[in-house]
């Protein structure tokens, strides 16, 4: 048997050769964006994101929050700002070692650590303040704070945000991301930083499983 083939078989058997990361194409009314997803370090988040890709429910949603020098956020609202339903919230994987660097994609969430659903954002800057750190609150800190609040006790939080889970990066189409970043925005109902002309996701496809 060819030595190279034999070596590859041995490495696969030892778990040293990993499958390639999935790639996803997001088509928008301003151009195409291609993502590479890190299923090794963010398996829960990638699985959740791909479930929305596969059922087509990102189609016709918009980038509803755009802040120059920060990020573009989408996946959860239609053009009229109707919120799209989502499945169960997922475990926050912000402690996976991935950082919120320019061009990375991460999950949006509420204040609660494990509250991400379907909305995501693409960083257009290095946003270190969104990263998990040794000073981040733990789930135990969060539970203790909630218990204190329920007893009517309030005290200043001494720990920092758990962080926002990065699960991939843009590998093509950052020019499109930057075009979206600088569109004119305004207020729409209770929502700020909403593009005046909707930036709509017209299709999302898994192009490399």
* Sequential DSSP letters for 42-74: -HHHHHHHHHHHHTTTTTT-BEEEEETTTEEEE
Q: Could you tell me the maximum CA-CA distance found in the chain, to the nearest angstrom?
A: 72
Reference 97, options 48, 41, 136; nearest CA is: 41
Give, in order, the Cα–Cα distances in Å from 32 to each of 18, 66, 171.
Answer: 27, 17, 11
Among candidates 99, 120, 173, 113, which has minimal Cα distance to 145? 113
| Residue 36 β-bridge partners | 23, 169
What is the reported pLDDT for 156? Answer: 80
Residue with tokens 């309030």: 154
The answer to whether residues 45 and 165 touch, using CB atoms and an 8 Å cutoff, is: yes
CA distance 5 to 142: 51
CA atoms 112, 116, 117, 120: torsion sign: positive
CATH no. for 17-129+164-204: 2.40.100.10
DSSP reduced 3-state for 11:
helix
What are the pLDDT tens digits along the chain (209 aa)?
555 545 545 544 544 445 689 999 999 999 999 999 999 999 999 999 999 999 999 999 999 999 999 999 999 999 999 999 999 999 999 999 999 999 999 999 999 999 999 999 999 999 999 999 999 999 999 999 999 999 999 878 889 999 999 999 999 999 999 999 999 999 999 999 999 999 999 999 999 98
How far, in Å, are 149, 160, 163 from residue 156 at the CA level?
Answer: 11, 11, 19
The domain segmentation of the chain, as residue ranges, is: 17-129+164-204
Task: Give dist(CA 14, CA 34) in Å, integer.
Answer: 31
> Of the candidates 36, 17, 15, 12, which has an alpha carbon nearest to the alpha carbon of residue 166?
36
Sheet hosting strand 120-123, strand order edge to edge: 63-67, 71-74, 120-123, 104-107, 166-172, 31-37, 23-28, 201-208
pTM, full prediction: 0.90
């Amino acid at each position: 048997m060819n030595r190279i083939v034999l070596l590859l078989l041995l490495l696969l058997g030892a778990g040293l050769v990993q499958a390639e990361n999935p790639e996803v194409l997001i088509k928008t009314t301003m151009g195409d964006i291609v993502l590479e997803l890190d299923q090794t370090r963010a398996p829960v988040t990638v699985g959740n994101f791909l479930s929305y890709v596969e059922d087509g429910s990102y189609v016709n949603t918009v980038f509803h929050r755009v802040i120059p020098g920060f990020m573009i956020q989408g996946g959860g609202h239609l053009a009229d700002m109707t919120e799209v339903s989502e499945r169960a919230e997922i475990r926050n994987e912000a402690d996976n070692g991935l950082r919120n660097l320019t061009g990375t994609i991460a999950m949006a969430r509420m204040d609660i650590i494990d509250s991400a659903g379907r909305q995501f954002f693409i960083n257009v800057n290095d946003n270190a303040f969104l990263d998990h750190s040794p000073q981040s609150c733990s789930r135990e800190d969060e539970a203790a704070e909630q218990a204190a609040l329920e007893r009517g006790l309030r005290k200043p939080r001494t720990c920092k945000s758990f962080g926002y889970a990065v699960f991939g990066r843009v590998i093509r189409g950052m020019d499109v991301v930057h075009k979206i970043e600088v569109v004119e925005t305004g207020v729409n109902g209770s929502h700020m930083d909403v593009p005046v002309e909707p930036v709509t996701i017209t299709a999302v496809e898994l192009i490399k499983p």
